[in-house]
Amino acid sequence: MQIKLESEDITLIVQGVVEAIRPLFNKCGKGYNDIIFTVETITKNEKTGEEIRRQCKFEGDIIFTVESLAEYLQVDVSWVYKSVSTKSIPYIKIGKYTRFKKSVIDKWVETQTVRPVSHLASIRRLSQK
């Protein structure tokens, strides 16, 4: 017995699978990269017989706990708690739980990057003091 599925059905199945396994990645604290699935469906044009290829990409964002964020950033858990209490790091509240979206943290990390200063500029700055 062979079953033919429409591309929309396949898309719905993949979305369901992604939603079902996302909590597993979050619970185990592993899989710090975004969950990305690409599904390619091939259908045939009934009139021409030509193959039509479609790609659907499903992305999910990782949600960190305080502990998993500390591990991801390679800092102490106490630093994360202090940063939350001073509101110097972006976070979300889910009930009483503090959580962090990886995509938001990655953008925040980019804003924390200290850019190098040219050697001459640092000498000028020191000589002005």
pLDDT at 103: 87
Task: Please report the beta strands in the chain, taking only residues with DSSP state E, as ranges in sequence order.
Answer: 35-44, 51-60, 63-64, 92-94, 97-101
- Beta pairing partners, 40: 55
Q: What is the pLDDT of residues 72-117, one digit of tens each?
A: 999 999 999 999 999 999 999 988 999 999 889 999 999 998 888 7
Interhelix angle 77-85/66-73, rounded to 10 degrees, is 110
The Cα–Cα gap between 73 and 68 comes to 9
Q: What is the pLDDT of residues 1-56, one digit of tens each?
A: 677 777 777 777 877 777 776 666 555 444 444 455 555 556 666 677 776 666 55
Backbone angles phi, psi at 36, to 5 degrees: -130, 125
Domains located in the chain, CATH noted: 1-60 (no CATH), 62-129 (1.10.10)
Contact 18, 58 (CB under 8 A): yes
